[in-house]
């Protein structure tokens, strides 16, 4: 009787404090502070051959100028309507057709691009063009002016990755359009790499903003680095051969909130199961293979995108020699002392 009376009294108490916008911690404590990470996100896979026709259809329905950015968002099935692929990250596929310009703007959100299809189009960052080749990795740091153009005869498609959900969580979003459609050219293509990409920096100059002053990482150079490391390094049991793109100014992640990686899997190589707290978005640049994420098996090929949610056990196998690009919020988790991994 005492237990039932106590339960009834508690319920009545909760009802009295509810109008005051208060709630008892003890009713939800074990959901808020869990023994291990718990995420609503689920493993997901977007096969490029299936989504490409819809992207091209979007190209017929709306112009890049009208759309601001013609992008099909890749939403985690457990987060529909939230424009999120993980709780902290956004991903989408962007299309720029021949002759189009996506207008110049800037925003609080940090952004990256991984070129999936096309060659010769460009992203302009603060007035410096970065011409695109398949597999290139390009960033636009927070509050950097950027526009996109395609002067070629073929469409260009890339994966967009941004920290939109994280900035939204902090209620810290700002957006501004440039007064002209394109930013005036202020520096020649490759100027950023010449200034900062050779372990040197102009005397007296210190980049600001926390993101890498190098904003184009050519795939040809990154692939060459993997080949060099293949000859010198032992293969890691859990990652095969995995390298991180860095900010040459401080050796940290390319952007304060987003870390990016390139990973080589030899044909037949299977990584050991691995988990970490940073939910990770993968894009296939080369090869075919499969990934086991929890109880989900994903077969992937070039252009495909898939996501490994936080603390899911995952392993990858290259059915052919394969190269995977990936990005996550590891950098910001490390800064906050939150990031953890487990090698199984």
Segment 17-53, tens digit of pLDDT: 999 999 999 999 999 999 999 999 999 999 999 999 9
Going edge to edge, which strands form the sheet with 44-46? 44-46, 305-308, 280-286, 322-328, 259-265, 241-244
The model's pLDDT over 258-281, given as tens digits with 9 standing for 90+, comes to 999 999 999 999 999 999 999 999
Closest CA to 127 of 154, 106, 152: 106
CA gap 188, 168 in Å, rounded = 34
CA gap 143, 107 in Å, rounded = 5
Q: List CB contacts of 266: < 8 A, sequence separation 6 or more.
A: 235, 240, 318, 321
Going edge to edge, which strands form the sheet with 111-117? 71-73, 90-96, 156-162, 111-117, 137-140, 216-217
Residue with tokens 């498609």: 157
Q: Of 150-159, 194-203, 228-237, give the range with the top mean pLDDT.
A: 150-159
DSSP H helix total and E strand total for the chain: 8, 22
CA gap 273, 280 in Å, rounded = 15
Instruction: Using pLDDT thresholds of 50, 70 and 90, give the confidence band for residue 4.
Output: low
Distances (CA, A) of 13 to 17, 18, 26: 6, 9, 13
pLDDT for position 297? 98
Burial of 12 (0-12, 13-18, 19+ CB in 10 A): exposed
Which of 1-5, 69-73, 300-304 is least confident? 1-5
Give the 3-state secondary structure of residue 52: helix
Residue 330 has pLDDT above 90, yes or no: yes
Domains in the chain: boundaries: 35-343
- The number of C-alpha atoms within 13 Å of 145 and in the hemisphere containing its C-beta is 16
Count of CB atoms within 10 A of residue 17's CB? Answer: 11
- What is the per-residue DSSP string for 281-318? EEEEEE--EEEEETTEEEEE-TT-EEEE-TT--EEEEE
Instruction: Give me the long-range contacts of 200-207 (CB less than 8 A, separation at least 24).
Output: 201/249, 206/249, 207/249
Residue length of the chain: 344
**pLDDT averaged over every residue in the chain:** 95
Which superfamily is assigned to 35-343 in CATH? Jelly Rolls (2.60.120.10)
CA gap 9, 133 in Å, rounded = 67
pLDDT for position 209? 76
Mean pLDDT, rounded, for 208-220: 91
Query: Helical H runs in the chain?
Result: 2-17, 29-32, 48-61, 64-67, 164-169, 191-196, 219-232, 330-335
């Amino acid at each position: 009787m005492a237990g039932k009376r106590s339960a009834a009294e508690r319920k009545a108490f909760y009802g009295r404090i509810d109008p005051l916008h208060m709630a008892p911690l003890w009713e939800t404590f074990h959901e808020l502070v869990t023994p291990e990470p718990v995420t609503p996100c689920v493993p997901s896979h977007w096969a490029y051959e299936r989504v490409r026709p819809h992207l091209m259809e979007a190209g017929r329905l709306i112009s890049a100028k009208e759309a601001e950015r013609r992008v099909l968002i890749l939403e985690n099935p457990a987060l529909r309507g939230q424009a999120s692929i993980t709780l902290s990250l956004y991903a989408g596929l962007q299309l720029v057709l021949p002759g189009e310009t996506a207008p110049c703007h800037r925003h609080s959100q940090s952004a990256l691009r991984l070129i999936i299809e096309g060659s010769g189009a460009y992203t302009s960052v603060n007035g410096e063009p970065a011409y695109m080749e398949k597999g290139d990795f390009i960033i636009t740091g927070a509050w950097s002016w950027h526009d996109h153009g395609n002067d070629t005869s073929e469409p260009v498609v890339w994966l967009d990755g941004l920290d939109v959900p994280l900035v939204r969580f902090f209620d810290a979003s700002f957006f501004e359009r440039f007064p002209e459609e394109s930013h005036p050219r202020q520096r020649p293509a490759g100027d950023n790499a010449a200034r900062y990409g050779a372990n040197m920096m102009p005397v007296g100059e210190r980049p600001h903003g926390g993101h890498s002053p190098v904003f184009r990482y050519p795939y040809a150079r990154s692939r060459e680095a993997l080949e060099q490391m293949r000859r010198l390094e032992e293969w890691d049991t859990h990652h095969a051969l995995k390298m991180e793109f860095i900010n040459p100014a401080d050796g940290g992640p390319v952007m304060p909130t987003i870390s990016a990686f390139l990973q080589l899997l030899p044909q037949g190589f299977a990584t050991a199961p691995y988990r970490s707290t940073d939910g990770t978005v993968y894009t296939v640049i080369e090869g075919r293979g499969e990934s086991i994420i929890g109880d989900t098996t994903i077969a992937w090929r070039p252009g495909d995108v898939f996501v490994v949610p936080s603390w899911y056990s995952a392993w990858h196998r290259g059915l052919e020699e394969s190269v995977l690009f990936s990005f996550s919020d590891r950098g910001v988790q490390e800064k906050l002392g939150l990031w953890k991994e487990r090698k199984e």
